[in-house]
Amino acid sequence: MDKRNTVSRLQAFRPAKRRLVQLYAALLHNAYLRGFIEGKIYEGKAKALCVPGLNCYSCPGAAGACPLGALQNALAAAGHRAGWYVLGMILLFGVILGRTVCGWLCPMGMIQDLLHKLPVPKIRKGKATRALSWVKYVILAVFVIALPLYYALARGLPLPAFCKYLCPAGTLEGAAGHLANPANASMFEMLGRVFTRKWVILVAILLACVFCYRSFCRFLCPLGAIYGLFNRFSLVGVQTDPDRCNGCGACLRHCEMDIRRVGDRECIQCGKCVEACSRGAISLKAGKITLKGPETGGEKKPARSRKILFRSAALALLCLVLVWFNFLDPSVRQHENLPAESAAVVGYEPGQRLADFSLPCYDGSEFRLADTRGKVVFINRWATWCTPCVAELPYFEELYRAHPEDVAMIVIHPEMTVEDPEAFLADLSLTMPCATDGTGDPVKEIVGGTATLPQTIVLNRRGEVVYNSVSSVSPEKLEALYREAAK
């Protein structure tokens, strides 16, 4: 008897299947575990693909791009290139999964679920929460669509407004994830008013999730708003058998989301209604395959051998993904294979010299660092999706035109991009050399760069570094740097 009681107690603490799936999905979303140790983000080719859940691109462990961030960047490039691949991936996730992503796969959803388990008084759903559930559609329209489009078409600037001003995933996973690592202590100098506001928003959202179930998911998340539009016809979702349903409403009473009926736009397909239905009228299905069925439905449970096979395959896949992203990916191995003595030979700190490099420019010329001796050199790393980067490009052009005989300059875009930087720059009429970094971003390694942009490096006439900073610059700052390097 004691043995049976011990087993039953242990089973009571065993995570539910949905929680295990959420943990599994969170690991897949953030498979680059060494990023948390090194304080750097993964920059391999897989980063160009979107993951289904809300997971910040800048999270140290992120193995893919956030669909919301990618969508905003695609809209920001509307005047230069259409981001059809981003829309295609979001449509694919929506048609196949709908808001099953929210209930089972989204890391932010799991964080909200865990916060709500804290033993404090809870706010129940009602007319007020149902009304607030429409706010996320306003945020989708304004911050994800309208503002990026307006800034792209009217001002020629990329502005991922939701990511920049609101997104709690960006603050928690991206900013806090990097700032918590001692290797990124210099990033504290970049913090300003925007970060402070976003930190306050994050704390408010996390506190709200403690008292009100999935507050961010229900009221604010524009990704959930997008996926909710697909709930009626997504391949995976809850389905009700009208012949069994007697309209008792138990499913609605047990649901903590603001649904009006099972499977509507607010339903996250978590499957709690399956357990609540006494008549076995509700099932979670993928097409004709029942993923979670009623206990009274008379359906056969999967054989133990099939369960073991499925779990073993899932575990093997997870191990393979983790090994690939942390050890086998070419972009990771390339960084590991840098010569051990390179730190002593190739310097990027003030007073040191940069190693020589050359890049083919968009205008057909070639920029060679060795050919710039005797001039003041400005190297700027930028990206089409970086608002401060694009805003300061005219400042570099102004300096370049003001000192055409005394300044050598190049602006470099990372190799990893889904946009066309050359097409993006076509309307700006720049005369300074512009290029894309080589395979694996070798110049980034030479200048001690990270994925954080913009970065400006200034060399004096002897090729020595006098300035190397990841921060925005003003025209006055650039002129002052020129005078300092020209001494």
pLDDT tens-digit map of 43-86: 888 888 999 999 999 999 999 999 999 999 888 776 656 667 88
Looking at residue 303, the DSSP 8-state letter turns out to be: P
| Stretch among 254-263, 383-392, 415-424, 463-472 having the lowest mean pLDDT | 415-424
- Average pLDDT of the chain to the nearest whole number: 88
Summarize pLDDT for 135-153 with one digit per residue, the tens. Answer: 999 999 999 999 999 988 8
SS (HEC) of 18-87 = HHHHHHHHHHHHCCCCHHHHHCCCCCCHHHHCECCCCCCCCCCCCCCECHHHHHHHHHHCCCCCCCHHHH
Answer whether residue 389 shows pLDDT above 70: yes
Answer whether residue 303 shows pLDDT above 70: no
194: confidence class by pLDDT, cuts 50, 70, 90: confident
| Stretch among 91-95, 227-231, 256-260, 300-304 having the lowest mean pLDDT | 300-304
| Stretch among 89-93, 95-99, 327-331, 474-478 having the lowest mean pLDDT | 327-331
pLDDT of residue 337: 57
Report the Cα 182 to chain-centroid distance in Å: 22
Top-level class of domain 342-485: alpha beta
Domain ranges of the chain: 14-319, 342-485
CA distances for 374 relative to 180, 236, 310, 442, angstroms: 41, 65, 65, 24
Summarize pLDDT for 168-185 with one digit per residue, the tens. Answer: 999 999 999 988 988 888
Answer whether residue 299 shows pLDDT above 70: no
Q: What is the mean pLDDT of residues 14-23?
A: 86
Alpha-carbon span 347 to 353, nearest angstrom: 5
In the block, which residue shows the tokens 């090194």?
Answer: 38
Answer whether residue 339 shows pLDDT above 70: no
332: confidence class by pLDDT, cuts 50, 70, 90: confident
pLDDT of residue 418: 58
Record the tokens describing residue 20, joined without a space: 């295990």
Percent of the chain at pLDDT above 90? 62
Alpha-carbon span 356 to 342, nearest angstrom: 13
One DSSP character per residue, 208-262 reads HHHHSTTHIIIII-HHHHHHHTTTTT-SEEEEE-TTT-----HHHHH--S--SST
Peptide bond connecting 394 to the previous residue in cis, omega within 30 degrees of 0 = no
The better pLDDT of the pair 333, 450 is held by: 450
Alpha-carbon span 45 to 71, nearest angstrom: 18
Percent of the chain at pLDDT above 70? 90
Spatial contact of 53 and 169, defined as CB atoms under 8 Å apart? no
Q: What is the mean pLDDT of residues 355-364?
A: 93
pLDDT of residue 359: 95
| Stretch among 61-65, 310-314, 342-346, 449-453 having the lowest mean pLDDT | 342-346
Point out which residues pair with 239 in neighbouring strands: 283
Helix, strand, or coil here: 114?
A: helix
Alpha-carbon span 173 to 424, nearest angstrom: 29
